[in-house]
Structure 1
């Protein structure tokens, strides 16, 4: 399967994303035309170097001062005559920015007035980046992103100084679970526009599967810093057909907790966001009987799940075991209807596929099958078999 890997070791901005995709092979003339159509700007695209690394550079010069509201921006870009996919992507990116700004300033989205983000160069950057993605056909690729370097120190705003990352960029990083790190140089390396574009286009962040590299692109930032100020993007082929997913395993041993408490703990943890819970019988020190509690969790959920385990069991500590990644199938939910004794029962079906769309497994939702078994009087295992056979007739 084709894959794209963004490697923002020196941050990311709108112009860096555009120039890296041009370096990868996107049509520079079409991108320039789209940017100048959408905004009152002059766009210069050229080759440059950053600490000896050859890269493309995009320089946007504004011809008109001022900023627009979100509604004004959307009203401007919708009738541009660009392909609908580009317009749809741009609208999504502006909404990501708008929601972040609205939350920070405590105003409704429809009342928000962009400042820096509503200026002509920001509008041009978003249209240009969406055009570049469209030109390269990257929406059909699996897109990955390594942890984003955001810089260090403080940045100046009209209302004072803020530490990097900027509040809007940080809000987007949080909302879309994009991992980030400080450094490697002073100053702002990740802009809100860069964060919003990555949030919209990236499928997997943090880790990525083995890649056979085919093409490499470099997009230069505007400054010359102590490290090469470029965004690296890699195009290649991934070997695996399953999805790479970041998880952690939480584990603790208990020897004085009743079965009723452990049964309730499973329900509590699943409600709190655990991906899976297992209770394993174990022989503890001095021959005592006990249990090992194992929980599979998303990294961002680990702390609240650990707290719940401690509260419910009295455990004094929970081990957190980081896993590089697990491989999972793409899952979808379908529905079939089965007839038993002239009565129709709707049954939900879980469908597992790999990234190539190959069907791996079909399983019927147990609670639906149990209800149908109770109402029809036939064994639940027979209901499961009937539902899964019916699903295989319709799911290819």
Structure 2
């Protein structure tokens, strides 16, 4: 059985709602609170609430007013928090996602940004609290799902005129994620989602569907938003188990046709795209219109890398753009383990990739080619011999070892 987590934002989502729902479902209060207060003068109050008959947890953060912090200052605060590496890395990734969106909307380089939608210590505390709770609950080893985020479209008066209460930053974050949205009309004339909440979900979830996955439910937690007590403004988080043997995730498949690019340029393009974050690149010969010979360039990429990779393709090939197709894929769990091999009197280390299903059964063992090539060149033996030796030793090491021992 595979552990699964489903976020169900049926009345919106915010950073404090996510933290509260994770606390409600069992995250350690002291651990999470310590993470939230690690950035400085922040007061965090965790309390129980009754939201229209449903027991929930509420998190309220009091912090000094700040007119806006720079991107660099926020990243520096997170790095100096003293938290475990995984929490810091996830927190930084979430702010990278937010800063990318801010930079696009305001057409401002990231190093000159002063955040407007996530400007307070409270927003930073919410991000770090959510990441701490996520790891405290072991969600980094689970499949993470979300149902579409319900959001209400309303307009409000600003100094610039009538403006939507849905931030363009939120829309930009949604565009570069696998999250979906669902519009609805209701009694609330203010926002029921915020940038922080959307960015946290966009970072963590693997898949967004209208329906829950087929699963047995073990625990349910509810997080209440501090505002709008007149409605059932809750985020529901569910922990359960699925019978999936493989992990599912979402990637984008980018395609474009070119008919005037040389083979050398295409070879260089593959290398450039892999450096830019592509998961894989394939180039296929094709007959184009009017019988011209050409090529189809196909790239697999994480959604957050799609725009950057498209720009790289356009610059390197002269293509006018790419077709982008979001797809679901089923993949194995993977882990690299160092394997020591002996060739004559020489001892060398080769990394070997271990692929397992969600039950821990080993499906494949594959030595890293570049490691094997380096060893072969150093010792004057064939790459094939090094690969065979490394994989054989890895299989011997793993015989009878369970998944928990591999820490997958």
TM-score range with shorter-chain normalisation? Answer: 0.5 to 0.7
- The corresponding residue for 1:4 is 5
Distance across 2 between alignment mates of 1:132 and 1:374: 47
Contact 2:148 2:182 in 1 (8 A): no
1:242-253 alignment runs, 5 A limit: 242-253=246-257
- The corresponding residue for 1:333 is 336
Distance across 1 between alignment mates of 2:92 and 2:368: 39
Instruction: Count residues in correspondence.
Output: 371
- The corresponding residue for 1:319 is 323
Distance across 1 between alignment mates of 2:317 and 2:92: 46
**CA shift digits 1:70-115 (9 cap, x unpaired):** 9xx99xx99xxxxx99xx9799879978x989x99x9x9xxxxxx9
Distance across 2 between alignment mates of 1:329 and 1:229: 37
Contact 2:336 2:352 in 1 (8 A): yes
- The corresponding residue for 1:204 is 206
- The corresponding residue for 1:262 is 266
**CA shift digits 1:153-186 (9 cap, x unpaired):** 57999xxx99756799899x69x96847585454
Contact 1:152 1:182 in 2 (8 A): no
1:272-351 alignment runs, 5 A limit: 272-285=276-289, 287-323=291-327, 325-351=328-354
Contact 1:362 1:392 in 2 (8 A): yes
Q: CA deviation at 1:283?
A: 3.5
Change (3 A) 1:293 1:44: closer
Contact 1:18 1:58 in 2 (8 A): no
Change (3 A) 1:341 1:291: same
Change (3 A) 1:55 1:133: farther
Distance across 1 between alignment mates of 2:339 and 2:384: 16
Contact 1:211 1:236 in 2 (8 A): no
1:105-184 alignment runs, 5 A limit: 141-149=142-150, 151-152=152-153, 179=179, 181=181, 184=184
**CA shift digits 1:194-224 (9 cap, x unpaired):** 4687578x45354698332526555554426
TM-score (norm 1): 0.66
Distance across 2 between alignment mates of 1:365 and 1:278: 20
Change (3 A) 1:382 1:314: same
- The 3-state SS of whatever aligns with 1:12 is coil
Distance across 2 between alignment mates of 1:197 and 1:206: 14
Please report the RMSD computed on the Cα atoms of aligned residues, expressed in angstroms. 5.5
Change (3 A) 1:96 1:246: closer
Distance across 1 between alignment mates of 2:64 and 2:3: 41
**CA shift digits 1:38-86 (9 cap, x unpaired):** 998987635443xxxx533456789x99779x9xx99xx99xxxxx99x
**CA shift digits 1:306-360 (9 cap, x unpaired):** 233233333344322221x111222222222222121222222222233333322
- The corresponding residue for 1:361 is 364
Change (3 A) 1:330 1:55: same
Change (3 A) 1:314 1:345: same
**Greater alpha carbon shift after TM alignment, 182-191 vs 266-275:** 182-191
- The 3-state SS of whatever aligns with 1:301 is helix
Greater CA radius of gyration, 1 or 2?
1
- The corresponding residue for 1:383 is 386
**CA shift digits 1:109-163 (9 cap, x unpaired):** xxxxxx99657x998x899989987998767654333454565557999xxx997
Contact 1:20 1:56 in 2 (8 A): no
Change (3 A) 1:16 1:345: closer
Contact 1:281 1:292 in 2 (8 A): yes
Change (3 A) 1:156 1:244: farther
Contact 1:248 1:322 in 2 (8 A): yes
Is there any run of 5+ residues in structure 1 with no aligned partner, and where?
Answer: 79-83, 109-114
